[in-house]
Amino acid sequence: MSVNDQSSDPRESTVVGNVTKQLLVDGKWRPATGGGTFPVEDPSTTATLCSVADATSEDALEALAAADRAQPSWAAHPPRERGEILRRAFETITSRHEDLALLMTLEMGKPLAESRAEITYAAEFFRWFAEEAVRIDGDYTVAPNGKGRVLVLRQPVGPALMVTPWNFPMAMGTRKIGPAVAAGCTMVMKPAHQTPLTMLALGEILTEAGLPDGVLNIVTARSAGSVMRPMIEDDRARKLTFTGSTPVGRKLIEQSAGQVLNVSMELGGNAPFLVFDDADVDAAVDGAMLAKMRNVGEACTAANRFYVHDGVAEEFTRKLTERMEALRVGRGVGDGVEVGPLIDANQLDKVVELVDDAVAKGARVETGGSRGDGQGHYYLPTVLTGVPSSARMNREEIFGPVAPITTFTEEHEATAAANNTEFGLVSYVYTRDVQRALRISENLQAGMVGLNQGVVSNASAPFGGVKHSGIGREGGKVGIDEYLETKYVAVGGL
């Protein structure tokens, strides 16, 4: 890999330099209490891009206080105007598409082509919820005994605490902010410490779009617990929404119990990818590349366990291996680069451990299977075959560019293996048999199914999982429900 060296492109320092690296509290950008900062790393070189404000618990509670003060007036804000703010923000994101994509690549590592795709995807949540803001409805009916009326209102749940991950630093933010703005909720946002710059840039865009002071507050911090726990335990917070790992999600749910917070959780995944003997193998390989290699495999929707029918396993494995071997690995800003670095040293070490564990238990490396060259956190695109059921990667999220393949003979074997996990976010199925497609889709224990396609993300569709993969749904018509309470008014005297 010869593209790992730090680029001298002046655009890189410009887009980083243009971001305000402070906290956004009550409409004002300010440093953290005590002036603390923490560094943001370029994962492709391990060099420091810049430093941003490191919030304290005092800063977090000030942000929550600002959200609480702004909540009544924001809830009363005309829905049409809330939607127009989102629409203007959508247009600004679109107009700054290239700079935002470059900023994301620098702090997260993904290739520019993928960053561009994420910016487009992220903007769509603002466009979608701009339209949903005016479609919040209720109900008015005659009571069954005819002696009164039943009035049902939908009202904003109140100040929402938001925690977003590093792997999709803008889309995971707009997927939460969009419905909250549309519903009339104020917010305190805590982005991942690895990728704060994209969220700070988004905060500037929303401010420019006319979002009132205190509606969106952003606290960046190296330690999530030091700023989140005080807010979670404060009775001014009424909702917590988190995207991230299942272990962290469990802790946050426990902490939320004291205040009985409304929670929505988009947690981990361990997606199976099923290829049946009647599948279009070329289409399945195309889908596998998308499902596995999107975001360098660092996605909760990533295909982690490939179950391929004996009749097509040899062809599928050969073609997938050829495709993986041909991928160009390097710094995300490089021409033609398709695979960037992993986010940090910890994530790289985890991928190494999982592959070494599988190989030690009998798996065979078809391609890859090792770290990449250079100073960044690179791991080579990898295909493993003969992965035993005892391998850790069958139970744990890989979050890296590794495709483990296991064969099966009978349909029930594939379904049982796919469901043999605590997770249930997404499953992928390739078959040309319509009846099998519907049968398998119904039997898979997952909140989403990719049927003959390797990408399920869609702003207009409900995103979320079952079992330990989460609570609630984001996106689609139901996405705004997570930010609304239902109030019943009994009307008498009629």
Phi, psi of 208, rounded to the nearest 5 degrees = -60, -35
| Cβ atoms < 10 Å from Cβ of 98 | 14
Q: Give the distance, in angstroms, between the CA of residue 304 and the centroid of all CA atoms in the same chain.
A: 16
Phi, psi of 341 (to 5 degrees): -80, 160
How many Cβ atoms are within 10 Å of 163's Cβ, its own excluded? 23
How far is residue 175 CA from its own chain's centroid?
Answer: 9
Long-range own/partner contacts, residues 254-259 (CB < 8 A, 24 or more apart): 255/228, 255/229, 256/232, 258/232, 258/233, 259/232, 259/233, 259/234, 259/235
Q: Is 266 a catalytic residue?
A: yes
- One-character DSSP codes across 38-97: EEEE-TTT--EEEEEE---HHHHHHHHHHHHHHHHHHHTS-HHHHHHHHHHHHHHHHHTH
Q: What are phi and psi of 363, to 5 degrees?
A: -70, 150
Best CA proximity match to 480, nearest among 4, 79, 13:
79
Contact 244, 224 (CB under 8 A): no
Q: What one-character DSSP code corresponds to residue 339?
A: B
Which pair of structure tokens corresponds to residue 5?
């060296």
Beta strands in 340-424 (DSSP E): 364-367, 382-385, 402-408
Phi-psi region of 63 (alpha: psi -120 to 50; beta: other; left: phi over 0): alpha
Reference 425, options 374, 476, 463; nearest CA is: 463
**Cα distance between residue 470 and residue 54, in whole Å:** 29
Which one of 41, 132, 266, 338 is the catalytic residue? 266
Residue 167: what residue type?
N
Rounded-to-integer distance, Cα 22 and Cα 54, Å:
8
Catalytic residues: 266
